[in-house]
Structure 1
Amino acid sequence: MSLAAEPLLIAGQWLPARESLGVFRARDPGTGDEIGPSFPVCGPADVETALSAAVAVADELAAAAPEKIATFLDVYADAIDADADTLVALAHAETALPAPTRLRGNELPRTSGQLRQAARAVRGYGWTQPVIDTSAGLRAHLAPLSKPVLIFGPNNFPFAFNAIAGSDFASAIAARNPVIAKAHPSHPATSQRLAQLAHAALVKTGLPAAAVQMLYHFDNALGLALAGDARLGAIGFTGSRSGGLALKAAADRAGVLCYAELSSVNPVFLLPGALVERGQALAQEFFASCTLGSGQFCTNPGIAIVPAGTVGDAFVSAASAHFAAAAPSVVFSQGVLDHLRQGLSVLRDAGAQVLASGNAVEGPGYRHAPTLLCVDAAAFLANPRALQTEVFGPVSLLVRASGADEMARLARGFEGNLTGTLYRAADGSDDAAWTVIAAALRPRVGRLIASKMPTGVTVSPAMNHGGPFPSTGHPGFTSVGMPAAIRRFAALHSYDGVPDALLPPELRDRNPGGVPRLIDGGWTTADVGAAS
């Protein structure tokens, strides 16, 4: 196949790389073979072109009518749905994720749905949180950064978190900021197709042509230099802890906001009453969640706390049987496989014992047997950092604990996580233990879950897909759920004594759009002066 590289979406056009430092191709995870066309590894000139172009249109996009932004998001969502056959085929080839169930049945509609939710939030103005203090003559709201947002897409969601289609993208555009999308090299052709649809929607809507750009790949040093450029307004990142922290450090030095989703082991506490009621079913549920998507979810249940004693033993035995009988899982890349093996070594060196390790790994590509390990609570509490190592893949660690008090001590030993789950008995017999453990766990997780595995993330205004460090870089924000996700890419603008006619629409006395506003301490949709 020719090594002629595909063009970049840059400065409002599809252009060849000006300074390609090489080319790369996607690989089929099932075989390890290279597939599809060649894509450029960008050099400094291409990055500078993209950044300069985004800066040049930032003010124009910030001044765009909200209806035009919302229309773009809707047109793009419709285009994604209409192109589902092509998108699903590309993503399946590049990720080996199941096409009918995961990609078409779940992730693609989630992606277009997120874009439409963002459009509704734009039309409703609610994300701007207007506040009016009539006695002080002050009015404030959230507004565009008027700077570009750089988005790094992860490997595990080719649609819903893609840098040019996912939640970060929708949020940044909804806040009227230009986006520079850095595609993940695991699925470049999928990202290219999404970028083609986004560009067409942009042109159709009449927004600035450079409002959306995409670079396929660049080296780490160039990424850090870009992250540390003060012309950026913010960064959205989903990926490894090491990569995210390096970007955040560079961004912090330049005063650039960095919203990074980094790592999470998502502890699951299985209380005794729940195991008595339905222990065998929970073992199957736990195994299914651990191996869903080959375990390549940021909400994968990486640690389960199981009570000592007979009822816990039965659960461990049943879960071990599921893992032992499992076929090898295909993971995204050689890099994922290498990190998985490294993480397992860390757990074993810290004292975790392998209970089950699936069937022998056979066949080409990137495969690993689902693996279950175990350690007692005393060993975990003695070495919590190593035993909380995130293993991105079909791997989980069981921790055996004696009673609610020891489970609470374990909960207090966890780093920040996206989620924490407690399974309780339906008859209320676990509720006293729940109260003790949940009080310890609540400050350490973004989302506290009752009696279901953490893998699913519902796209809802009430969702928090975030959490304390090191699950993310900031505990006050979510990357899923409109309008909250939009607020990451906004600045607080206050107006002091500005005449009504010169204010943004949602801060004027009249409120023809019925926007909820905090006027003199009370939320209302009324006009100023009519509010009580």
Structure 2
Amino acid sequence: MTHVEPLLLAGRWQPSLSLQGSFRAADPTTGEHIGPAFPVSGAADIETAVAAASAVAAELAAAPVSRVAAFLEAYADALDADADTLVALAHAETALPAPTRLRGNELPRTTGQLRQAAVAVRSFSWTQPVIDTAAGLRSHLAPLSKPVLVFGPNNFPFAFNAIAGSDFASAIAARNPVIAKAHPLHPATSQRMAQLAHTALVQAGLPAAAVQLLYQFDNPLGLALAGDARLGAIGFTGSRGGGLALKAAADAAGVPFYAELSSVNPVFMLPGVLAERGEALAQEFFASCTLGSGQFCTNPGVVVVPHGADGDAFVAAATSHFAAAAPMVLFSQGGLDHLADGVATLRGAGAQLLAGGAAGEGGYRYVPTLLSVDAEAFIAQPQALQTEAFGPVSLLVRVADTEAMAQVAAAFEGNLTGTLYRAADGSDDAAWQRIAPALRARVGRLINSKMPTGVAVSAAQNHGGPFPSTGHPGFTSVGMPGAIHRFAALHSYDAVPDPLLPVELRDRNPGGVQRNIDGVGTTADVGSAA
């Protein structure tokens, strides 16, 4: 009988209580199965996880902030110390480059997020205390006192992993239990991270059931779980179709659903910048589109380019880069199939194939692909021509002039990012000002003269945007303390005596917490001169 790995359930590692089958990871370069078998959970596992998390929610909400911060810091330290094992596991399951992407970028980003969350916990910066002395009212952001369910994506085995990424760090920082739904493409990586998390959690003196891990369950159970009113919120990163189905179930139960769904991240090449450095921009665009085999949520999926000699030269240079590129490894057969369907949809809507457009041999490979369409066709069929092709694929939209660019900008749906490349001499500034207002309303992050694939972990970051890029335009999934706000409740206290208030709302402020008192930001005590 095949051994099946245990679950982190109800505070301990244990066999599935309702095993519905098992699965294994695959090596994307060959398509062959690797590693041990992991459980597909049934209803008993899910019920146990929700009940256990609910049972410790109040205890975690009341836990000293020092313990929560200590857990986040200890977990980050443990991940750094185990880097060799983690990078090897993630590389085997995803084929992402080990030294540059996994060790050099993504793991440090992950541990950095955890440590930033710890800083926000210790400083109370995420709670935004407000005191109105005249009305006798005080408010702050506080724990939901319910579990948070986190769905991890396929493309970031560390930084967005359900058991370690930004959603996880944010939910824990707000002192909510987390039920992590690992992505089935990297189960061994998730398991190892969960082992480190569990050890750090117990050592910090927090309830052992505050962090749980489920690997896989079928779609009906997932919908039932998303619609469980015992949940305080859901964090989701993944496909638009799957996310919207889960969102509908959550909405029916009144469970807040914070989702990153899809984005084509439009890039506008203005005329002056193409004259200035068009050939270099073609290389920059190709490098961004194919980074990580194009499997980034901020991949430049649509690039708007003017007609004319400079625009034609940019297109010719970009086409040559794509045409010369070897097939690139994707994460899974499902991803390969979805990408092929996306390219077929774009071509069916009138996009012309300039390079690529086919699968490669061996494992899960696809040739970098470039397509082109005129602005008139794009504006006539904006939905089909904004189909997200998640991989090394991009669509060029050719436009006549600045006015046509503005019309194309107005045809975009909500996106995570929008970029305008402008000339250094200021010759594109008038065009920038004409196009930017329409683009600004449709993106979470407006970028000047650089590709969108970099996402800095910063308090000023917005990794979010209007629907359908995310489920809510007012929140970010990256950057502390802002990301924590998704998993918090606004608590107001009316005429509550000082000793009974949360510590950051009391008259005295020995910790120097930044507060808004009668409309003034200050670290002073109530009644003291600022």
Q: Distance in 1 between matches of 2:2 and 2:214?
A: 18
Matched, 1:30 2:29: yes
- Residue in 2 that maps onto 1:480: 478
Structure 1 residues 501 and 369, CA, compared in 2 at 3 Å: closer, same or farther? Answer: same
**2:494 is the alignment partner of 1:496:** yes
Residue identity opposite 1:456 in structure 2: G
Contact 1:29 1:365 in 2 (8 A): yes
Deviation at 1:363, TM superposition (A): 3.5
What SS does structure 1 have at the residue aligned with 2:490? strand
In the alignment, which residue of structure 1 is the partner of 2:525? 527
TM value normalised by structure 2: 0.99
- 1:67 corresponds in structure 2 to 66
Aligned to 1:139: 138
Contact 2:354 2:371 in 1 (8 A): yes
Q: Identify the residue that residue 90 of structure 1 maps to in structure 2.
A: 89
**Residue type of the alignment partner of 2:526:** V
Structure 2 residue 443 is matched with structure 1 residue 427: no
List aligned pairs for 1:323-472, cutoff 5 A.
323-357=322-356, 362-472=360-470
- Counterpart residue number, 2:225: 226
Q: Shift of residue 4 of structure 1?
A: 1.2
Question: Matched residues in 1 for 2:428 and 2:310: separation?
Answer: 14
Deviations 1:153-172 (A, max 9, x none): 00000000000000000000
SS at match of 2:391: coil
Return the offset for 1:174. 0.1
Matched, 1:196 2:199: no
Identity %, equivalent residues? 78
Residue 203 of structure 1 deviates from its aligned partner by 1.1
Tell me if the contact between 1:90 and 1:189 (Cα under 8 Å) persists in the aligned partners. yes
Question: What letter is aligned with 2:363?
Answer: G
3-state secondary structure, aligned to 1:422: strand
- Alpha-carbon shift at residue 404 of structure 1 (Å): 1.0
Matches within 5 A, 1:71-150: 71-150=70-149
1:264 is aligned to: 263
Given that 1:3 and 1:23 are in contact with CA atoms closer than 8 Å, whether structure 2 keeps it comes out as no
CA RMSD, 1 decimal = 0.8
The match for 2:274 is 275
Q: Which amino acid aligns with 2:416?
A: L
Question: For 1:323, what is the secondary structure of its paired residue?
Answer: helix
Match of 2:164 in 1: 165
Change in 2 beyond 3 A, CA 1:308/1:497: same
Distance 1:295-1:55 versus aligned 2 partners, 3 A rule = same
- TM-superposed CA distance for 1:214, in Å, is 0.2
On the 8 A contact 2:9/2:209 being kept in 1, the answer is: yes
Aligned 8 A contact 2:360 2:367 in 1: no
| Superimposed CA distance per residue, residues 94-122 of structure 1 (whole angstroms, 9 cap, x where no aligned partner) | 00000000000000000000000000000
1:48 aligns with 2:57: no
SS at match of 1:299: coil
User: What letter matches 1:433 in structure 2?
Assistant: A
Separation in 2 of the partners of 1:108 and 1:98? 12
For 1:359-401, what per-residue CA distance to the aligned partner results, in whole angstroms no more than 9, with x for missing partners? x754310000000000000010010000000000000000001
Q: Give, as a single letter, the amino acid of the residue that structure 2 aligns with 1:498.
A: V
Q: Distance in 1 between matches of 2:208 and 2:141?
A: 25
Name the structure 2 match of 1:292: 291
Q: Give the whole-Å Cα distance in 2 for the aligned partners of 1:339 and 1:258.
A: 24
Distance 2:525 2:228 in 1: 42
Write the deviation string for residues 192-223 of structure 1: whole angstroms up to 9, x where unpaired: 00000000101111100000000000011100
Q: Aligned to 1:384, what secondary structure does the other structure show?
A: coil
The separation in 2 between residues aligned to 1:167 and 1:504, in whole angstroms, is 26
Deviations 1:486-531 (A, max 9, x none): 0100000000000011100000001111111111011111111114
TM-score scaled by structure 1? 0.99
Aligned partner of 1:121: which letter? A
Report if aligned partners of 1:269, 1:304 keep a CA contact under 8 Å in 2: yes
Instruction: Provide structure 1 residue ranges, at least 5 long, that are not aligned to the other structure.
Output: none
The aligned amino acid for 1:93 is A
From the superposition, tell whether residues 413 and 362 of structure 1 become closer, same or farther in structure 2 (CA, over 3 Å): closer
Equivalent pairs, count = 530
Does the Cα contact within 8 Å between 2:141 and 2:491 map onto a contact in 1? yes
Task: Determine the structure 1 residue equivalent to 2:239.
Answer: 240
Q: Would you say the 8 A contact 1:89–1:99 is kept in 2?
A: yes
Counterpart residue type for residue 303 of structure 1:
V
Q: Is the 8 A contact 1:516 1:525 kept in 2?
A: yes
Q: Give the letter aligned to residue 475 of structure 1.
A: P
Tell me the amino acid that sits aligned with residue 315 of structure 1: F
Q: Deviations 1:441-462 (Å, cap 9, x if unpaired)?
A: 0010000000000001000000
Alignment gaps of 5+ in structure 2: none
